[in-house]
Structure 1
Amino acid sequence: MTAHRILTLTLSPALDLATCVPHLRPHDKLRCSTPSYAPGGGGINVARAIRRLGGDALALFPAGGSTGEHLRELLKAEDVPFQAIAVSGWTRECINITNLTDRQQYRFVLPGNPLSSQEQTAVLSALEHLPTADFLVISGSMPEALPADFLPRLLENAQRRGCRCIVDSSGSALRQMLDIGGLLLIKPNLDELSAMLGEAISGPEHLNQVAQDLVAAGRTEAVLVSLGAQGALLVTAEVCERIPAPTVPRRSTVGAGDSLLAAMVLKRASGASWSVAARYGVAAGTAAIMTDGSELSRLEDTERLYGWLAASS
């Protein structure tokens, strides 16, 4: 298999369905628009967004059933390189519904199927046998009932092979991987970071300190905290800065965080500084908000917004 500098891993992939309804009321028979389908799951979306931004990444994920086959076909249609690991459980579906009355979006996220011990071994084996990548992006929610040693084994194997690891997850999974340390980047949002700490973050200074402590302890080289409409906070050993998000028409938030991470990884892979990479990431995340349904950021929107951010910094 061809070597790729960037590899993404999605342990709970999804087939995303997006549709619209004229109104949203209980008990009514709601007539939906023609649905659109897209590949889903954190790492898969990162690989898709990298492709849309002119880069290249290999998406690795478990997939099963007819929904898993549909997911594969959609990735082929987008020309996204991938390796799917066959599993017994059907790939989950997630549903995004836009209420046309007020343009509010409702996101129904179904749980991922557990991976059997044999399927977990297949994931680890696939990572071992792929050509070593420079960057491994572990992104998205985790399947239920993963054993406590699975993520540490995964991370330690990747690091032993010289792969720099980037994590976009939450809860115990994020905590476990930070405890191993040596990560290149984590990208939590404010709620995910608070949940990991087990306490509310009281304000900007507290947030800065939490991120700086993670870097100083060697748990990660960089922290990028997504702050939604307020942009993002970037913290490294040398930098602590807030990056504003440009104001744009909001159509859908699906995939905004994945677009942000994809753009940031792509820039770092090309040798850009953390500050440049973070601004390009915020531009891509903002660009994704301008698109409908599960569509990710467009290159032309990302470049235009990045130009604005670079000029205003």
Structure 2
Amino acid sequence: MIPVYTLTLAPSLDSATLTPQIYPEGKLRCTVPVFEPGGGGINVARAITHLGGKATAIFPAGGATGEHLTSLLADEHVPVQCVETKDWTRQNLHVHVESSGEQYRFVMPGATLSEDEFRQLEEKVLAIESGALLVISGSLPPGVKVENLVQLIKAAQRQGIRCIVDSSGEALTAALEIGNIELVKPNQKELSALVDRELTQPDDVKDAAQELVNSGKAQRVVVSLGPQGALAVDASSCVQVVPPPMKSQSTVGAGDSMVGAMTLKLAEEASLEDMVRFGVAAGSAATINQGTRLCARDDTLKIYDYLNRR
């Protein structure tokens, strides 16, 4: 199998808790918090591990929160390569309200990365073997500009590293301008921004995704369509996969689970259709959990089998 690595520039220590109801000023009594590793690339590596694969997570970690994050990944048997930072790793809070079923997500700014800390992360990335897959996922922290990300991707590609980018906004646009990105997963709104036009007609999403492929910006484009699943396009095929109807408990972690599952299939050199089916299955599996939990292997395989029988 092709080796897989992930890069997370703004990791987090995520805590999740329940409260009976939410209201201003009063004390909100909560359950004992559950702590989990967080950050796009870290969650992708965790999802791959949960699904029986292997991915090494590269990320910065600082302070007691960074130590806690690293120890949680060790508990999950996720291989890591860390760079110690001066700033503490951020801690996010997810609150589920029992009375209403609502979720509140309090997301803190990422820890600032100095030039030297970013350079150390870059050195770890450029030590990856040629031909490996590198998933760059998550937001950019203070101290890191889009130009830094672009230079990193270009340097990685020059060394034969195959880059997958799961981001949004300016960072995603800049990555696609480099070209030859292995896989991107925009939603419909993000895809519309990438092609600079509204996508209102039945074939507009497919045409826009094919435009990114045909222009050489990406080898594979998978458009996330929410309850409608995902539409996947490469140079020779187009496929849409619709998940089974399921009661969603939380969408937290669904996107990272989907990217992890698709990356695992890419590492196994599977077809586009098999890749997106497994991705939709993992994303759907994550939604049946409360809080910040990712996909479980058994749930994913059950949904994957269902999709393969359709």
| TM-score (normalizing by structure 1) | 0.94
For residues 149 and 290 of structure 1, what CA distance do their matches in structure 2 show? 38
Q: Is the 8 A contact 1:4 1:58 kept in 2?
A: no
Q: 1:132 to 1:74 in 2, by over 3 A?
A: farther
Residue type of the partner of 2:109?
Answer: P
Instruction: Give the equivalent residue in structure 1 for 2:224.
Output: 226
Match of 1:254 in 2: 252
Say whether residues 1:280 and 2:298 are aligned partners. no
Kindly indicate whether residue 300 of structure 2 is the aligned counterpart of residue 302 of structure 1. Answer: yes
2:132 to 131, 134, 138: 134
Is the CA contact (8 Å cut-off) linking 1:164 and 1:184 kept in structure 2?
yes
Answering whether residue 163 of structure 2 is matched by residue 165 of structure 1, we say yes
Change (3 A) 1:221 1:86: same
Of 41, 44, 52, 2:42 maps to 44
Does structure 2 retain, via aligned residues, the 8 Å contact 1:4–1:57? Answer: no
Distance 1:272 1:72 in 2: 31
Larger displacement relative to structure 2 (126-135 or 37-46): 126-135
Q: Distance in 2 between matches of 1:50 and 1:123?
A: 21
Aligned to 1:73, what secondary structure does the other structure show? helix
The equivalent of 2:74 in structure 1 is 76
CA distance in 1, matches of 2:141, 2:196: 22
- Displacement of 1:192 in angstroms is 2.8
Aligned to 1:109: 107
Structure-2 change in CA distance of 1:212 and 1:124 (3 Å): same
Offset from partner CA, 1:167-199 (integer Å, 9 cap, x none): 100011101110000111001122333344555
1:153 to 147, 151, 154: 151
The code of the aligned residue for 1:9 comes to L
How many residues get paired? 310
**Unaligned regions of 5+ residues in structure 2, if any?**
none
Indicate which of 171, 179, 182 corresponds to 1:181.
179
Q: What is the aligned partner in structure 1 of residue 60 from structure 2?
A: 62
Cα pair distance change 1:143/1:195, threshold 3 Å: farther
Q: Which amino acid aligns with 1:11?
A: L
Aligned partners of 1:27, 1:191: CA distance in 2, in Å?
A: 36
Alpha-carbon distance change, 23 to 113 in structure 1, aligned in 2, over 3 angstroms: same
Question: Which of 44, 48, 51 is matched with 1:53 structurally?
Answer: 51
Percent identity over paired residues: 46
Give how far 1:122 is off: 1.1
Shift of 1:38: 0.1
Q: Tell me, which stretches of 5 or more residues in structure 1 are unaligned? A: none
**Change beyond 3 A, Cα 1:116–1:37:** same
Write the deviation string for residues 253-285 of structure 1: whole angstroms up to 9, x where unpaired: 111111111111111211210110100000000
Contact conserved, 2:2 with 2:267, CA < 8 A, in 1? no
Instruction: Verify the 8 A CA contact 2:223 2:232 in the aligned structure 1.
Output: yes
- The answer to whether the Cα contact below 8 Å between 1:4 and 1:131 also exists between their aligned partners in 2 is no
Q: Which residue type is aligned with residue 173 of structure 2?
A: R
Q: 1:249 deviation in Å?
A: 2.2
**Is this contact kept in 1: 2:114–2:143, CA < 8 A?**
no
Task: Give me the whole-angstrom Cα distance separating, in 2, the residues matched to 1:279 and 1:202.
Answer: 25
Q: Please, which of 96, 99, 117 is the counterpart of residue 98 of structure 1?
A: 96
Alpha-carbon RMSD: 1.6
Q: 1:203 to 1:105 in 2, by over 3 A?
A: farther
